Every structure is written in C-alpha cells, then in structure tokens.
Amino acid sequence: MSKKATKYIFVVGGVMSGVGKGVAAASIGKILQSRGMKVTALKIDPYVNVDAGTMNPTEHGEVFVLDDGTECDQDMGNYERFLDRDLSRTNYMTTGSIYLSLIQKERNLEFKGRCVEVVPDVPLEVLHRVDKAVEKSNADIAIIEIGGTAGEYQNILFLEAARILKVKNPKDVLLVLVSHILTLGAGGNELKTKPTQYAAHTLNSAGLQADMILSRASVPIDEKRKEKLAFVCGLASKEDVISAPNVKNIYQVPVNFENDGIADRIFKKLEITPRKRDMKEWRAMVNKMNNAVKPVRIGVVGKYFNTGEFVLEDSYISVLESIKHAAGYLNLSPKIEWLDSSVYEKNPASLKELKKYDGIIVPGGFGSRGIEGKIKTAEYCRKNKIPYFGLCYGMQIAVIEYARNVLGLKDAHTAEIDGKTKHPVIDIMPEQKKNLKEKNYGATMRLGAYPANLKAGSIAGKAYGVSSISERHRHRYEVNPEYVERIEKGGLNFSGRSPNGRLMEIAELPKSAHPFYLGTQFHPELKSRPLHPHPLFKEFLKAASARKHK
C-alpha cells in the first residue's frame, strides 16, 4: 500500500439497502476535513456493469458524471458536494471494472503466466485502486464505501479487501457499519436492535469486526440501546454507537455526527492527534437553509420519477440538491414538485397548472417518451413568462419549440427521435454516428468537462461573472450548426459556445423578452455545492422568487 501513513475507513451497510451509507461516508469525510485532514472518498459498487452509464435512472438513480467523463453512482455526487472538491475515475470502481481490468492484464501477460484467481487477485486489485486514489489526492484518510448490504454474496470480495488491509495495517483501518434500527409500537418510537446485531455478526463471518455503528432510525437512539449494541456487537464503548436519525436536510448530518462525538472516536481509534473543530462555515450554511422562510415553488417536468406509485427523486438528485443550494444562499424555502411530462402530452389543457409555479425546470433525459409534453411545457413557459431552466435535453427542447412555433419550422425536431425530420435543429455529433451504427453505447457520449466562452452582457455572462467556463456534459446530440444563424435572428441567443464556436452550450432569451428563459447543453447541477451554489441556479431562483413576490 501507500508509503505514507494513510488511514482507511471502510463504510459498509447492514439490514437493508438505501440505509444512507453514501451520506454517512460523505459526512464523515466533511467532519475530518473540517478538522484539518486531507480526505478522499471512494465508492465500490458490486454490480457487473463497468460503470453506471447504461443503467436506467428509475432502477439505480441518477448517473453522476465527473470532470474526466466517468459515469458513476450518485454517491460520488454526495462526496463532491460534501467535500467541495472534484474527484476522478480513480475514486470509483465496480465489480465489472475490476474483472475487466484483471482480464485485460491477464491477456497482456502482466501476470507472467501464473494462475489468476478470484481470491486474492480481486481484493488485491481493489486495494491497488484505493492506493492510486490515495496517491493522487495525497490523502491522510481514505473513506471507502462498499455498496450493498452485509450478507450479500456480491460484495464479499470487497469485504475481503478490507479484511486483508486490516490484517496488514491493524492500527490504520477502521470499519464503520451503517445499519437500520427498526421502530415499532403505536407511536413508532420503540427501537429494535436485533437486525443490526445480526448484521454485525454477519460481518464477523467475513472476518471483520465493526469498530463503530451508525444507527439509522426515524428517531435518535437512546443510551440504553447504545449500551446494548456496544455489548452485543463487540464495540469498545457505547460512544462507538453514533445516532443517525432521519433529517429533512442531509447537510445537517455532519453536524449531528460531530455533536455525537464521532471525530474524537475516530481519532482515538486510528491514533491520530486530535484537531480543533472548525465547521463554522458549514454550520452557518445549514442554519441558513433550515431557517429560510420565504417560499418559492418550483416544478420539475420529467419522466424518470414516474413509477406509477411514488416519486423516485433519486433520478434527479443533483437537480434537487442544486435547487436547495441556491435557495439556501438566497434565503428561500423551496417547495419542489415533480410533474410528469406525459400528462401534458396526452392532455394539453392541463398545462395551465404551470401558472401556479414560480419556475419550471426541464432536466436531462433520453428517448421519445414524454418529449412532446416537454416541448409544450417550454412553449407555455415562454408565452406566459414563467421562468424556465432547461438542462441538457431541456435546452434542446427549448430550441425545438422555438424553431417550430417562432421560426415556423413546424416539423423541427431532434434527430434522436425523428431521423427523417426536414429540420433536424438538434442532430448527432458526426463522430458519434459510428458508435450508434455499431451499437456501442457505453461511455461513448460527449462526457465530462468541456470549456465554453460566454457573451458579455448576457444573462449567463452576468451570472457567472467571467468570460469562460468549464462544465460537465453527458449527451450525443447538439444544436445543428446549420440552424444557428436562423435561430439567433429569430431572437433566441446562444450566449455560450465552445471555444471554436462550433458547439452551442447555452441558449437564452434576452431579459427584455422574458424574465428567465435559459437552457444549457451541459449539466450545471453536477457542479453545484452547498457552500458554492451554481450561478445559473441562483439566477433562475432569483427570477422565480421575483415572480412569486411581484
């Protein structure tokens, strides 16, 4: 492993999936960072997909994209938002990527003819990647989240990696179990620890002993049950059981953990000299978000959250968090509602409900389902002066709508949906045509950070306050250059362009025509942070608030 005396914290889950390991890992990282430690965070996903790019958001949640173009799990977004730093592909791995790497090495004779085995070669490859991430970030502490739940076959090899490292460096490795504490009784406040006891014992069967337990529950865990968990699960003290109750604002979690003494326990166990607390800026941000009372109502028009029974907010988690970041900064209390675009497609009369919102966001997406409803949404917002913010597909929607209803190109469309349209105002990048023809879809889009130049005096230019920017992309289709001049003459301005002027990055109507009608080819939500809200989200919410409080 690394020559530097690096410390490692493995975060694993117990009882059930979705228990909050990602937020817990990010929160631990934020606390240690606030104590002056250099921290990096890694996610290990136990699925065979090489990355998250080909997975449906309704099944796995949002696909997060890093600056280097890595398509990864949404927990990587939590790490970046909490740590307020950019991560890279070295911080993310899956079962598929591990096996792919080993097979490629074997084919290249890098194992010099020896037998390549699942154990120890898979765990050792995991530790090799952890070491690379530590080296790249020069981290004092690496936090490694292992996806899945203790007891599942699919993550056993990653637990074995933790065991190997623990055996080699017993004083440098800490295992944190994030486990669900059931609540029963008429009031729902009777805490039951038995499932977590079983989870801890399951870890024992993998050769691991939890050093700390984060007790996830609807309410804070009491001292008596802390004592019981510590005794039954083999913890050194009841102080090693950290209360992790439900919160309305996830940025409250580091504050709660720190208040429960988690950093001091970690420092003691890893034999790190204690550092002074310094979460003033973070606490101030959380207080501002929690105490904002000026309401603003935002509608998000999409399709990936409609399961027929409930709203899958994870499909657009970065959009949701970006709204919260900007709202908190502006002392606004956002009320976010999810609107199914297919409803507007089937029943255009229902578009009138959009008037009750202070702003509308049309986020990214792929495919034809619900697209006409989104186009109708953009038209209604344009005509009725409702602040409109289009993200990637949402910008393309705005361009299509404008071409159809302002320029008179009635069959204008995106070639993604209608390859035979006479007016493909949105078309595929020439270099992508080969990938589609060969059905080579994974990691073949325009991915990651790309630069753009902004027009002086534009809404975007004023919002950013700079002349050039870098933003993250995830798409194949672009505004067709053949239509740019005609669209701009019609009144829709492309205020952001690639340095060579070929790619349109931002489209907007001038303030004189609309309070806020703007779309981005990139995904601004991927770079918003609670301490540094994205400038375009701030500008959008300013316009929404102005509409609310006219």
Active site residues: 392, 523, 525
Burial of 379-407, coded b for 16+ CB within 10 Å and e otherwise, reads bbbbeeebbbbbbbbbbbbbbbbbbbbeb
Q: Please spell the DSSP secondary structure of 297-323, one letter per residue.
A: EEEEEESTTB-SSSB-GGGGHHHHHHH
Order across the sheet with 141-146: list the strands: 92-94, 39-45, 141-146, 7-14, 173-180, 212-217, 241-245
Q: CA 426 → CA 98, 284, 342, distances in Å?
A: 37, 44, 21
In contact, 548 and 340? CB cutoff 8 Å: no
Q: How far is CA 466 from the centre of its chain?
A: 26
In contact, 401 and 379? CB cutoff 8 Å: yes
Of 357, 365, 402, the C-alpha closest to 507 is 402
State the DSSP code for 221.
P
Backbone angles phi, psi at 401, to 5 degrees: -60, -45
In contact, 238 and 226? CB cutoff 8 Å: yes
Number of Cβ within 10 Å of residue 257's Cβ equals 20
Which helix H or strand E contains 253, and what residues bound it?
A: helix 253-259
- Helix 194-205 vs helix 223-232: angle between axes, to the nearest 10 degrees? 30
- Residue found under tokens 């009608």: 517
State how far the Cα of 73 lies from the Cα of 89, in Å rounded to an integer: 11
